[in-house]
Structure 1
Amino acid sequence: MSSEVIGELIAEVGPLWHEQHQTRLTARSRQRAVGAGAKHRFVFIDRLLATLVSLRHGTTHDVLACWFGVDRSTIARAIGEVRPLLAQRGCTVAPGIGCALLPRSSSYLGANGQTGIINGTEIRVRRPAAGHKDRDKFVSGKTKQNTVKSMVVTDDEGRVLFCSPVRPGSCADTTQARQLGLTELLADGPFLEILADAGYQGMGAQTGGRVVTPPHRKFKKNAPAWYEERHEQQRKTHSSRRIRVEHGIAHLKNWRALTRHLGRREHMSDIVQAVAGLLSHQQTASLSRGIRG
């Protein structure tokens, strides 16, 4: 990440962290005045940098503790405080304009006349312990591994606009989209074209044709040669239009925290949304610098 983006993060997230810290101090009865006692040696800038390194490179807390000269528990506590603040920012769709909710991303696409692209991405996680309730609900039918799934929305250039909280890997793509309210959002709102893969079949009819999926195969057997050629061409055309979302997901997976998670599964929603927000912020900053140049 560029120094300009890190400086903007410090200015944006720093006041939120200090406010959160003061609220935590005043939320309980105290024998000392607020501000008394030992002062932080691990300042906010170092906490933010440790969180960024952890997300970008997957560096362990033990290594970060050695780098910053603090205890491992201090690193774990600092990342646990900063990471949710980064997740709450949402994605940056334009300089100074954030988009933390799905309705805002669809409104942005509609207002700019752009086509949206959706897709689900899976991240490997640890399997629940033996005897744990619903132990198999994280098993993905696609990868046959224990995963969590997030729905990603990009524009037609592949810029990430929204990344949903995670669901267990056994959750179907269409189920996750409905739980996020995508069906009602598109059915009741202005016309907006959303490209999707075959995992979202059936949503086109529920949204008035706003969700476009690959064409159905009308001939199961003994299809004419002309139909095979046309059907294959239609599928390739659709695939070439929606390939940008795969590029956006590939940029997300470049962050080591999303390649495979060995920590607590409860943190995955914050991790995915924090990475999506940081990536979109960097992309928007790079784009605005290119326009100024």
Structure 2
Amino acid sequence: MARAASGPTGGSAAEAGGGSRAKHKFVFVDGLLATLVSPRHGTTHDVLACWFGVDRSTITRAIGEVRPLLAQRGCTVAPGIRLGSLAEVIEHLGTDGRTGIIDGTEIRVRRPAAGRKDRDRFVSGKTKQNAVKAMVLTDTEGRVLFCSPVRPGSCADITQARQLDLVELLVDSPFLEILAAAGYQGMGAQSGGRVLTPPHRKFKKNSPAWYEERHEQQHKAHSSRRIRVEHGIAHLKNWRALARHLGRREHMSDIVQAVAALLSHQQTATLGHGLRA
């Protein structure tokens, strides 16, 4: 009689209607594949269970083990070199005086159940939808270097950056530029001019024509420099789970950081292949 195979969790893989024979030998590679397919295509655990011929609980358990491992890998900046924290990314950029670009991105999530005290915390002030927010940092080529854990959608971009100690990290680092959107205005003075944001509008109304023209030119010049972070975020959002997440909100930090790690590895490999060609 064939023995029941052990899955990624070390438990028995005998899943066939409570019988002693396993439908499928669910090994670690299968768990890794299920973990990749789920956020990439938004495939539910029930569907994955049908594909692999195991119970839904086996899929959930395997993804719960593999996903944190991917999230902890950090973002790849060169073959064999990964950065796992914001401090490491700032040090990496400051070594050669490189420019980084930051921006916040929102991911729609399910609304908390009625009666919960924190129900309104997830309502975004920008989109008026239930969401979580992550801060993304890329280089000038749009390669993802860092993606933060998520915060409720009501958290402002600048508040999230401060909670990540971005200002302190920049002040203690060699001089470098961090391009940011208007939502981060105020961090420039706090970081010694290291954070560059669009210029403030001095005239709220009845402004001279020459001022409007100059302000628009400066705004366009800044936007053209920081557009690469939008491209990086767009690549992240190609993963279905980051376009709209229908699962548990407490898993979002691991999901977004795992996707960022996988995407950065792909971008580095693609860039390296292009250089060799």
SS in 1 for 2:72: helix
Q: Which moved more, 1:283-292 or 1:118-127?
A: 283-292
Report what 1:144 is aligned to: 128
Report what 2:212 is aligned to: 228
**Per-residue CA shift, 1:213-238, capped at 9, x if unaligned?**
00011122322111111110000000
**Per-residue CA shift, 1:179-225, capped at 9, x if unaligned?**
00001011121111000001001000100110000001112232211
Matching of residue 193 in structure 1 with residue 177 in structure 2? yes
Please report how far the alpha carbon of residue 288 of structure 1 lies from its aligned counterpart in structure 2 after TM superposition: 1.4
Structure richer in helix, relative to its length: 1
Matching of residue 252 in structure 1 with residue 236 in structure 2? yes
Q: What does 1:125-144 align with in structure 2 at a 5 Å threshold?
A: 125-144=109-128
CA distance in 2, matches of 1:275, 1:265: 16
Please report how far the alpha carbon of residue 117 of structure 1 lies from its aligned counterpart in structure 2 after TM superposition: 0.3
Runs of 4+ deviating beyond 3 Å? none
CA distance in 1, matches of 2:246, 2:31: 21
Unaligned runs of 5+ in 1: 1-16, 25-37
Q: What does 1:80-91 align with in structure 2 at a 5 Å threshold?
A: 80-91=64-75
Matching of residue 49 in structure 1 with residue 8 in structure 2? no
CA distance in 1, matches of 2:40, 2:207: 49
**Per-residue CA shift, 1:148-207, capped at 9, x if unaligned?**
000000001100000000000000111100100001011121111000001001000100
Q: What does 1:87-98 align with in structure 2 at a 5 Å threshold?
A: 87-98=71-82
Q: Which amino acid aligns with 1:241?
A: R
Report what 1:31 is aligned to: none
Matching of residue 217 in structure 1 with residue 224 in structure 2? no
CA distance in 2, matches of 1:43, 1:135: 39
CA distance in 1, matches of 2:171, 2:223: 24
Matching of residue 203 in structure 1 with residue 157 in structure 2? no
Report what 2:101 is aligned to: 117
Q: Which amino acid aligns with 1:208?
A: G
Report what 1:34 is aligned to: none
Instruction: Give yes or no for contact 2:94–2:173 (8 Å, CA) kept in 1.
Output: no
Please report how far the alpha carbon of residue 90 of structure 1 lies from its aligned counterpart in structure 2 after TM superposition: 1.0
Please report how far the alpha carbon of residue 60 of structure 1 lies from its aligned counterpart in structure 2 after TM superposition: 1.0
Report what 2:269 is aligned to: 285
CA distance in 2, matches of 1:189, 1:114: 12
Please report how far the alpha carbon of residue 123 of structure 1 lies from its aligned counterpart in structure 2 after TM superposition: 0.3
Task: Give the alignment's TM-score, normalised by structure 2.
Answer: 0.91
**Per-residue CA shift, 1:248-292, capped at 9, x if unaligned?**
000000001111111110000000000000000111111112222
Report what 2:17 is aligned to: none
Query: How many residue pairs align between the two structures?
Result: 262
Alignment identity in percent?
81
Please report how far the alpha carbon of residue 122 of structure 1 lies from its aligned counterpart in structure 2 after TM superposition: 0.3
Report what 1:59 is aligned to: 43
Q: Which amino acid aligns with 1:105?
A: V
CA distance in 1, matches of 2:206, 2:115: 50
CA distance in 1, matches of 2:71, 2:39: 12
SS in 1 for 2:207: coil
Instruction: Give yes or no for contact 2:97–2:175 (8 Å, CA) kept in 1.
Output: no
Task: Give the alignment's TM-score, normalised by structure 1.
Answer: 0.86
**Per-residue CA shift, 1:35-85, capped at 9, x if unaligned?**
xxx999210111101111112111111111111111111111111110010
CA distance in 2, matches of 1:184, 1:110: 14
CA distance in 2, matches of 1:178, 1:59: 35
Q: What does 1:94-109 align with in structure 2 at a 5 Å threshold?
A: 94-109=78-93
CA distance in 2, matches of 1:273, 1:154: 14
- Pick aligned residue for 1:158 from 142, 151, 154: 142
Q: Which amino acid aligns with 1:274?
A: A
Please report how far the alpha carbon of residue 113 of structure 1 lies from its aligned counterpart in structure 2 after TM superposition: 2.8
Q: Which amino acid aligns with 1:195?
A: L
**Per-residue CA shift, 1:73-107, capped at 9, x if unaligned?**
11111111100100000111111011110011111
Question: Over aligned residue pairs, what C-alpha RMSD do you find?
Answer: 1.9
CA distance in 2, matches of 1:276, 1:112: 23
Please report how far the alpha carbon of residue 243 of structure 1 lies from its aligned counterpart in structure 2 after TM superposition: 0.4
